[in-house]
């Protein structure tokens, strides 16, 4: 099928994410303006700078459709209009979350296990899978989960993908979207949202026969304590992650401060980024 035929199919497709997910890669090419913005910021020194912010907004607004482009040398269908992770990584590439990806590259061996809680569209899971690690990616938002699956499939990458929220019980919970950004969904908030399955982390890991975790990344908008505290109370020492990337900018929403628990478990802060703390047991 030609590029023009793909574009015609894309233009006639329904608006639901699933229908778009089956449209061939390349059907949503970058506009000239988006190409120009990527040339300036994608994997360049300017991609680290504050100057990127207004250009990310220009990139988002230039067209309402998704964008087919690359990230870490992999094919990705980005949705910059409704997800900040898509927008920032489409424009800045590996400059986005660069401290975290360097941390992963340092501590995740080939054949190691990477657990991605709050996987979003697959930014970190793609990076981990590309390094030939075993990836367990967990994302409760149905739209983001579909995009995560699509991005993995586009590159023939294998991962254990789980559409569920990680929490302190086995049951159901409410996932509420905020700020018109799919990646900002919060558990347990009042407001319009979707009921999603909730499961403890340890149960998920046992289901997938995980025996060790080399790097665990968690970013679930202030629900980190409910996900991790039950795990650290019950998990065997062999399952405790060697290294953790944890968002702590929403710690005011924690019911209990998890950092003292992590310190007692042997973790020490080794670094941080704008939004995440980096911890190791060694």
pTM of the predicted model, to two decimals?
Answer: 0.90
Does residue 139 contact residue 117 with C-beta atoms inside 8 Å?
Answer: no
CATH assignment of 98-280, among 3.30.1330.40, 3.40.50.150, 3.40.50.720, 3.40.1310.30: 3.40.50.150
Which residues make up the CATH 3.40.50.150 domain(s) of the chain?
A: 98-280
Please check the confidence at residue 166 and state whether its pLDDT lies above 50. yes
Q: pLDDT band at residue 9, thresholds of 50, 70 and 90? A: very low
What does the alpha-carbon distance between residue 232 and residue 225 come to, in Å, rounded to a whole number? 10
Please check the confidence at residue 217 and state whether its pLDDT lies above 80. yes
Q: pLDDT band at residue 201, thresholds of 50, 70 and 90? A: very high
Tell me: the pLDDT tens digits for 75-127?
A: 999 999 999 999 999 999 999 999 999 999 999 999 999 999 999 999 999 99
What does the alpha-carbon distance between residue 211 and residue 193 come to, in Å, rounded to a whole number? 35
What does the alpha-carbon distance between residue 34 and residue 149 come to, in Å, rounded to a whole number? 25
């Amino acid at each position: 099928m030609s590029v023009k035929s793909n574009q015609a199919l894309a233009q006639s497709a329904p608006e639901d994410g699933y229908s778009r997910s089956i449209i061939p890669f390349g059907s949503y090419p970058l506009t000239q303006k988006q190409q120009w913005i990527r040339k300036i910021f994608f994997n360049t020194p300017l991609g680290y700078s504050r100057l990127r912010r207004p250009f990310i907004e220009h990139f988002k607004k230039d067209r309402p459709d998704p964008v087919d482009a690359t990230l870490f040398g992999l094919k990705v269908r980005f949705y910059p209009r409704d997800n900040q992770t898509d927008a920032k990584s489409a424009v800045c590439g590996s400059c986005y979350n660069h401290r975290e990806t360097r941390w992963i590259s340092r501590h995740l061996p080939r054949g190691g296990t990477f657990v991605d809680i709050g996987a979003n569209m697959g930014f970190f899971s793609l990076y981990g899978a590309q390094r030939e690690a075993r990836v367990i990616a967990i994302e409760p938002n149905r739209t983001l989960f579909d995009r995560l699956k699509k991005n993995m499939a586009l590159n023939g990458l294998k991962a254990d993908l789980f559409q569920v929220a990680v929490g302190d019980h086995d049951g159901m919970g409410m996932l509420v979207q905020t700020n018109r950004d799919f990646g900002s969904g919060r558990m347990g908030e009042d407001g319009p949202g979707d009921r999603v399955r909730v499961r403890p982390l340890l149960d998920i890991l046992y289901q997938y026969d995980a025996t060790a975790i080399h790097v665990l990344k968690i970013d679930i908008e202030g629900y980190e304590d409910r996900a991790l505290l039950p795990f650290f109370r019950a998990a065997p020492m062999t399952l405790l992650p060697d290294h953790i990337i944890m968002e702590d900018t929403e710690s005011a929403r924690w019911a209990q401060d998890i950092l003292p628990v992590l310190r007692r478990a042997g973790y020490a802060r080794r670094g941080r980024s704008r939004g995440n703390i980096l911890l190791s047991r060694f």
